[in-house]
Amino acid sequence: MRVTRPRPFSHLAAVLCAAVALAVSSSAAWAAHGYSLWGPLKYPEGFTHFDYVNPTAPKGGEIRLVSNQRVSTFDKYNPFTMRGSAPAYVAELMFDTLLSVALDENGSGYGLLAQDAALADDGLSITFRLRDTARFHNGDPVLAADVKHSYDTLMGEYTSPAFKTLLQDVAGLDVLGERTVRFRFKSPNRELPLVVGAIPVFSRAWGDTVDPKTGKRKTFDQVVSDIPIGSGPYKIGPVRFGKDITYVRDPAYWARDLPVRRGTANFDRVTVKIYKDSTARLEAMKAGEIDLMRFNSAGDWARRVNGKRFDSGELVKGEFSHRLPMGFQSYILNTRRPPLDDIRVREALGLAVDYEWMNRQMFYNAYQRVEGLFGNTDCAPQGHPAPDELALLEPWRKQLPPAVFGPMVKAPRTDGENSLRGNLKRAQALLKEAGWTVQNGRLRNAKGDAMSLVYLDSAETGVRVASPWIRNLNTLGIELIFRPVDYALYQQRVRNFEFDIISINFLGTHNPGAEYADLFGSKAAKTPDSGNFAGVSSPAVDALISRMTGARTHADFLAACRALDRTISSSHYLIPQWTSTTHRMAYSARRLAHPKDMPPYAQGETWAVDTWWAKP
């Protein structure tokens, strides 16, 4: 199954994806309505709405969807704690943040809860002034004390460790007035102003109750079924556990007329339905029970998204082109476990993937191969390392694979002058060098132990895509066992790194930042529930991430992210899979209307939830 790696600030994934940072004034602290990474903002102060919305879109109606990221029901409302599963879209719809993003602009942020912001002359702090109109769902004003409470809670012991990783360079938060807060940084960092601007803000009153069993105030991990008190455009409405959840639009939403919100949150109700598996979801779509669904399966899109409602035009198929980064959907090899701790074994496993055959025979030529971490962005390295990249890599030469210093590593191919047979022969040579030889039909080490690996998944349907790889590995004498498990068990095992191989769809970014310490940092490798599934623990990687997040110029930033990409790709922690440059979505043309063009940096369903509207 293709599982999307959620981001801790999922309601502002675009901010974290973009890792937007402040354009620093060299002369004095200043306040502004928005931020840009390296150049001027697209939207000037006083703009009325984003270009990609319909500012006069009617309010009303309902959109019914199913989340592609959910394969089980939910058991809590709190999306920030470690244990359990929160309902889809709860963070996006219910929690406002200090800053918002424009989906037609790469690397920018505009004030939402924050009326303006001022960066200190030395770059070591940023001050946000809250809007005096900002309100929580219970009518209370959003105050500086709530921002501090949210920050302190997310940095506490009961939330996902990813928050601590992303905010590790924040020295603290000061309350300067009833509606003024200042974030202090450990060192100047162009990314941090917008990272802190993406913190979800919730009320101090949420979960502020006494546990009847202990007589003490609830800790945040005990805030499970308490209805969240946020300031976003939606509240939780009717819920049928195990079946669906409905979010209802707050007609008194405090920010409905702000430029960053005008033309958005148009549906009165957003209902997310839960189905057992992808087949049930598809049949529900055909039966008219779902208004919009995005498809990741090329087979479903080409062969099974059809029926009488599509023939009549009630349901339509749309492919919406985007300019999002490729991301790095990959097989993840857990290097905490032998033999995956050997780079030669990892490279050999990758050589057994025949992507070109799979794309022809299984994917209807619908995909492109993933290229490194930063494909389709300026961060993607090309050819040999440039001098500025070499300057960052040379101090670590003895610790890095030699391939880092050669041409950028590309995924092996099986077309043209290349062949699967040739790749498997290369794999055999690598495995032999690593001490693995075929004995009695199985690949064994010097102790006689056979190489047997388990590919953990949360859906039985994943075996179809894995089967060609399994067959090719069997040719090498390697046993790869496909093991589907219940989603709850899958979550538990992944959080505790109890697996050999999994598959994850990592969202891409034009401007990587602190989140990469969670994905590849040494500290995260030892922290359960972090994003470092591969167990990368490398001082060189840590140093490159630090240089990337601390870059003061665009040139320094590009050198660091390109050097990081070379290092990760050459180490074969990940086996790249495939990606698409379009969002494939089927939707009800009878019930839904949408703006003419999709903004280039939109994430599929969230574009629909944010900006579409119901037909009368």
- Cβ atoms 559, 552 nearer than 8 A: no
Q: CA angle, 603 as apex, 594 and 253 as ends, to 5°?
A: 65
Count the alpha carbons within 13 Å of 45 in the hemisphere toward its beta carbon: 7
- Cβ atoms 363, 371 nearer than 8 A: no
Please give the radius of gyration of the chain, using alpha carbons only, rounded to the nearest integer.
Answer: 24
Rounded Cα distance, 285 and 288, in Å: 5
Both tokens of 135, joined, read 């309100």
pLDDT at 10: 39
How far out from the chain centre does Cα 523 lie?
Answer: 20
- Cβ atoms 231, 201 nearer than 8 A: yes
The CATH superfamily label for domain 3-275+583-614 reads Periplasmic binding protein-like II (3.40.190.10)
Rounded Cα distance, 364 and 301, in Å: 10
pTM of the model: 0.77
Beta strands in 512-571 (DSSP E): none
Which residue(s) pair with 587 in the sheet?
Answer: 292, 316
- Cβ atoms 119, 193 nearer than 8 A: yes
Beta strands in 50-140 (DSSP E): 62-65, 99-100, 108-111, 114-119, 125-130
Give which of 204, 82, 183, 53 is closest to 140, Cα–Cα: 204
Using the structure block, give the residue that is written with the tokens 């990221």: 69
Rounded Cα distance, 521 and 161, in Å: 12
Rounded Cα distance, 589 and 378, in Å: 37
Give which of 197, 189, 20, 46 is closest to 117, Cα–Cα: 197
| φ/ψ of residue 519, rounded to 5 | -80, -35
Both tokens of 364, joined, read 């209807």
Q: Strands 452-457 and 479-484: what pairing?
A: parallel
Both tokens of 211, joined, read 């546990």
| φ/ψ of residue 85, rounded to 5 | -125, 125
CA distances 138 to 78, 134, 465, Å, are: 17, 12, 48
CATH 3.10.105.10 residue spans of the chain: 330-579
CATH class of 330-579: alpha beta
Question: In what side-by-side order are the strands of the sheet with 108-111?
Answer: 34-36, 108-111, 99-100
How far out from the chain centre does Cα 548 lie?
Answer: 19
pLDDT at 461: 79
- Cβ atoms 267, 588 nearer than 8 A: no
What residue ranges of the chain have pLDDT lower than 50?
1-3, 6-30, 70-71
CATH 3.40.190.10 residue spans of the chain: 3-275+583-614
